[in-house]
Amino acid sequence: MSVVIVDTECANLTSVRFAVERLGYSVLITDDVEKIRSADRVILPGVGTAAAAMRNLQRKQLVEPLRELTQPVLGICLGMQLLTSHSEEGDVDCLNLIPAQTKRLPQCGLPLPHMGWNTLQPTADNPLVDDQDSYCYFVHSFAVAVDEYTIASSEYGERFASMIRHNNYFGAQFHPERSGKTGEALLKRFLELELC
């Protein structure tokens, strides 16, 4: 099993690597197109801004290769938002792998960013999480609206998509690498997933 973390030059690559290693897998952080293409699993992490992350991917000529992957791919936090078609954060076109839009969370009198542990309500066909209302760790100010690609939702002022999926591409708005045993279980299932 080869697991690759795409080197987006964002800050939280290390914690994702350690989380995969705690599950007993070795993992490579790389921006090498061939290594990404040939990996069994690809993780696209990200913190920071969508515009900066897309700039990094373009500079590294990773946009098209990332769009053509066939193995299971997991975008985490900003990495999930990069899978959508467009982000309001910096008004930037993203990878357009999941036809959804990333928009700023509304001002509802609640503190922003949405930061801390919130519950997930997965859909029945979510292959990575079964349990209703398990807690995961979120830190974000932008979110994806609930639509047919949503496989889990959460609520903060309004309901938003906390996990999305289209074919082999999965996204998690929260940080599984920092979400305790729930996050560990999710990563483990992603790594063991068999796509049919």
Partner 1 sequence: MLAKRVIPCLDVRDGQVVKGVKFRNHEIIGDILPLAKRYAESGADELVFYDITASADGRTVDKSWVERVAREINIPFTVAGGIRSIEHAQTMLSMGADKISINSPALLNPDLINTLVEEFGQQCIVIGIDSFYNDQSGEYEVHQFTGDESKSRKSAWQTKDWLQEVISRGAGEIVLNCMNQDGVRKGYDIEQLSALRGFCSVPLIASGGAGDIQHFVDTFKIAQVDGALAASVFHKNLFSISDVKTAMAANKIAVRPIEALQETT
Residue 175 annotated in active site: yes
Min separation Cβ 159 and partner 1, Å = 12
Please say whether the beta carbons of 74 and 107 come within 8 A: no
Whether 177 is a known active-site residue: answer: yes
Cα–Cα–Cα angle for 134, 124, 165, rounded to 5 degrees: 85
Which residue among 77, 89, 94, 140 is the active-site one?
77
Binding site for partner 1 (CB under 8 A): 11-15, 18-19, 21-22, 47-49, 78, 110-119, 130-131, 134-135, 137, 139-141, 155-156, 175, 177-185
> Whose Cβ is closer to partner 1: residue 31's or residue 149's?
31
When the beta carbons of 60 and 159 are compared against partner 1, the nearer one is: 159
Considering only CA atoms, give the Rg of the chain: 15
1's CB contacts (< 8 A; 6+ apart) are: 25, 40, 41, 191
Catalytic-labelled residue, pool 94, 136, 140, 175: 175
Contact 147, 80 (CB under 8 A): no
Q: What tokens does 84 get?
A: 């959508």
Q: Which of 15, 85 has the CB closer to partner 1?
A: 15
Identity of the amino acid at 112: L
Min dist CB 15 to partner 1, Å, is 5
Comparing CB distances to partner 1, the nearer of 99 and 180 is 180
* Nearest residue (CB) to partner 1, 149 versus 156: 156
Catalytic annotation present for 77? yes
The backbone torsions φ and ψ at residue 181, rounded to the nearest 5 degrees and listed phi first, read: -70, -30
- Those residues whose C-beta lies under 8 Å from the C-beta of residue 47, and which sit 6 or more positions away, are 10, 11, 12, 77, 78, 139
**If you count them, how many residues does the chain have?**
196
Closest distance of CB 78 from partner 1, Å: 8
CB of 56 to partner 1, least distance (A): 13
Shortest distance in whole angstroms from residue 62 CB to partner 1? 20
User: Phi, psi at residue 39, to the nearest 5°?
Assistant: -70, 155
What residues are labeled active site?
77, 175, 177
